[in-house]
Structure 1
């Protein structure tokens, strides 16, 4: 089941087990059941601290639990074959159930251990989803830390009956005690904050009590991480406030143009960025959304202030804005109503849920054409709609797309509405921009791939923006507000690339440092 290289690596990891663990499988007679059997036997053969039982009686088959030997009831379950992106989730579950400590902060661990009540979590995933492992790993760890918590990972492509019954059209989808808990990427901090209702208020109070920073970076993507590292290396007091550390990189599947790294994935890069920042004395305030920027000229303290949605306010001598961009929406009737009910923005994550169905991709740039190519291998038919008179994707991608037998390309198409039956998408309306004729396509899903919007709504009235809402910056990444700098996709830089964002983050940091040492406001 596992190749020799993976076996060797896994065997090395399993030496870290402190307690014996038991894998209990519930199997039927299908090919996937045999895959699970083979996987578990391979794992057991790598360590004398791992045993396997094949006498489980769970209704979900194939599935297996991971528990300590002698434990009354295992608290971690995998329903499906946890390979692909979820293999790491399996390895971590083996180690953590076996007593190897996690890297979570002690304060967060204590929060999990202090949760009262009974929590039965179920997470529906797809093995191609790069967002799902974060959720699975967080909930698995919670189940390990707190005996009142159970968690099951469920491969939606394998358990289609459950997916259909619960009308799941987006992954990860998390259920708690049988009811919807959340959808999309969630880290351990975010999940705990939703369960511990007093956590947000406590965190806001703690943030409000912080002293002023020399440099406050708003945003935790590539630009923000680079800026924080550069300023921290200067020895000045640096803080990072981010809605989610990693930013849009977390939603990026394959990265093949990051110089010196031949190939990587967004979540891996985001993890490396955060670890690099944490290697320095940087105060990271995650899960915090900026609400308003007050320039120093408008504050009583003479410092720039950033107000957060939580109600807390941070002060800084200089600020670097690196809040990035988000997926652009179509802004047509029905889009919000059917979001996660057929309207999706991540083909890698949600594509497997539409196996054998008809879908549309809106957008003919590189991301749209790549999405259509990927989906064509899963769904029965893909219709790509492009607003202009030609697709804008690279020629090699267009050639590949047009070679696929189950893809239709419609140019000069203006999407006007998303249609549904009240619970899920069943079609899309568009206007033929040549003839002016209104048309309808019967569909099960719509993947929106029409570019990005800068996250600058909170900045209107404080810094100068372009007509597209991007922050206007100078040669040192300086904005129109003294002491405020910006970097990355949130600015008017012409090319939105990870490596460019990092370079601009470094420039912004150096610009902010130069401002500190040359102005009347002394660093430190």
Structure 2
């Protein structure tokens, strides 16, 4: 099951086990069960601290549990955790075996203090790059708190269960049988939903913070770059991030980040956070800014009611997926309307789907989906596709793809529980037509996260923050960088450079002006 190279690496990891662990398999007669058993045998053979026992009593089969021999197993995998989930399996083995997690001590204590009686189930697809973070967070919580348990469920393997629970997107998390959340969630976000007093404690903590020299708003590459450049100057630096990593977390393959041959969004986001934590940067995660008040000291008001003050501010709020803004889109989000073909594509195996958008992202999505689903209909507003010629050539070679140009999507339709089609207007004839399908993947670009700045800083017609060559905005002391600005070519490497530019601009502003502390 595991090739020699992976076995060698895993064997080295398993040497870190501090106590014996047991794998308990609950199998059936399927081919997947045979594959799972082979995987478990390979793992057990790599360490004398790992044992394997069959004949488990799990309801979902094939599945297996992981736990310390002296303790009840609270982590289960219903499915074969390969692909993106292999790291989740390795961490489950290590943490169940007593290897300390790389988590702040305060978070560990917060997890241990959570009330008992929570059983989580996370539906994933093995191609989903957002799912492992959720799986690993809940697995860690199960290791640290005896009152918490967690099962990862491969939606592609348990299609009947997916249909029964009407799951149309991954990751989807259930707690004690009720839906808990959908989409990417960090460990901190999950804890915050369970620890009801955490928000109030955080507000009090933020209110007591001293004035910053540089306060960066946003959590993506531009933000990390700006904060690191500022902190290296020895000045008081903070980051306010709705989610650290930003849009990068939703990026699958990154192959144009110079000097790094290939990586993916979650790995890059983790590296950015680790780098930022090497400096004295006050990172305030899960905090959303909703107002900027100019002045000698610039005030940033947060959605939770707290506020922060700083001598300079760098806006690096990035961008979000552009929505169609048609009837039915919001009602059927995660019920057939999706924005990540890599994550949610496997849930539509053998079904009919549409892709909205004829640029590179839309055509790439259609090509990927064509290998999974029964049929793809790609709709483009313009009279022709805008994707690169090589992508178009590949697209038109696929037998199960239909391309419709001059199509304006007008409505997402459904039966009240899930999508059953969409309507569009033929821009040549103005005729309204309907396509029956089960899924819609929206790939029509990005919008800057600047709505909260309207009337405060100067924005372009597209809502982007107007900046000069030094990153300065129309408000003195306020700088900006990255995808939320008028800088052309929205690329990670460009955002990082722009973050450095804005930070140097802010520092130059600080040394040329005097602001009271």
Query: Shorter chain as normaliser: what TM range?
Result: over 0.9
What's the offset of the Cα at 1:34? 1.1
SS of match in other structure, 1:370: helix
- How many Å separate the matches in 2 of 1:59 and 1:231? 54
SS of match in other structure, 1:230: helix
2:314–2:479 CA contact under 8 A, matched in 1: yes
- How many Å separate the matches in 2 of 1:520 and 1:234? 17
- How many Å separate the matches in 2 of 1:107 and 1:516? 34
Q: Under a length normalisation based on structure 1, what TM-score does the superposition of the two structures give?
A: 0.98
SS of match in other structure, 1:521: coil
- Whether 1:48 and 2:42 are equivalent positions in the alignment is no
Q: Which residue of 1 aligns with 2:372?
A: 378
What's the offset of the Cα at 1:494? 1.4
What's the offset of the Cα at 1:514? 0.5
SS of match in other structure, 1:123: strand
SS of match in other structure, 1:168: coil
- How many Å separate the matches in 1 of 2:133 and 2:315? 26
What's the offset of the Cα at 1:11? 0.8
Q: Which residue of 1 aligns with 2:478?
A: 484
Equivalent of 2:298, from 292, 304, 326?
Answer: 304
SS of match in other structure, 2:363: helix
2:352–2:437 CA contact under 8 A, matched in 1: yes
What's the offset of the Cα at 1:436? 1.1
SS of match in other structure, 1:490: coil
Q: Which residue of 2 aligns with 1:18?
A: 18
What's the offset of the Cα at 1:435? 1.2
Equivalent of 2:436, from 439, 442, 451?
Answer: 442
What is the CA deviation profile of residues 311-331 of structure 1, one whole-angstrom value per residue up to 9, with x for unaligned ones?
110100000000000000000
State how 1:3-42 maps to structure 2 within 5 Å. 3-42=3-42
- Whether 1:420 and 2:419 are equivalent positions in the alignment is no
What is the CA deviation profile of residues 492-516 of structure 1, one whole-angstrom value per residue up to 9, with x for unaligned ones?
1111000000000000010000000
State how 1:378-417 maps to structure 2 within 5 Å. 378-417=372-411
Q: Which residue of 2 aligns with 1:323?
A: 317
Runs of 5+ in structure 1 lacking a partner?
Answer: 297-301
SS of match in other structure, 2:126: coil
What is the CA deviation profile of residues 30-89 of structure 1, one whole-angstrom value per residue up to 9, with x for unaligned ones?
111111111111111111100101121212111000011132x31000000000000000
RMSD: 0.8
Q: Which residue of 2 aligns with 1:299?
A: none
Q: Which residue of 2 aligns with 1:362?
A: 356
- Whether 1:341 and 2:338 are equivalent positions in the alignment is no
- How many Å separate the matches in 1 of 2:361 and 2:204? 41
Q: Which residue of 2 aligns with 1:274?
A: 273
Q: Which residue of 1 aligns with 2:128?
A: 129
- Whether 1:77 and 2:80 are equivalent positions in the alignment is no
What's the offset of the Cα at 1:373? 0.5
What's the offset of the Cα at 1:380? 0.2
- How many Å separate the matches in 2 of 1:101 and 1:282? 24
Equivalent of 1:351, from 323, 332, 345?
Answer: 345
Q: Which residue of 2 aligns with 1:457?
A: 451
What's the offset of the Cα at 1:521? 3.0
- How many Å separate the matches in 2 of 1:8 and 1:316? 51
What is the CA deviation profile of residues 298-318 of structure 1, one whole-angstrom value per residue up to 9, with x for unaligned ones?
xxxx30010000111010000
Q: Which residue of 2 aligns with 1:115?
A: 114
Q: Which residue of 1 aligns with 2:174?
A: 175
- How many Å separate the matches in 2 of 1:514 and 1:397? 45
Q: Under a length normalisation based on structure 2, what TM-score does the superposition of the two structures give?
A: 0.99
- How many Å separate the matches in 1 of 2:323 and 2:191? 29
Runs of 5+ in structure 2 lacking a partner?
Answer: none
SS of match in other structure, 1:474: coil
State how 1:199-218 maps to structure 2 within 5 Å. 199-218=198-217
Q: Which residue of 2 aligns with 1:93?
A: 92
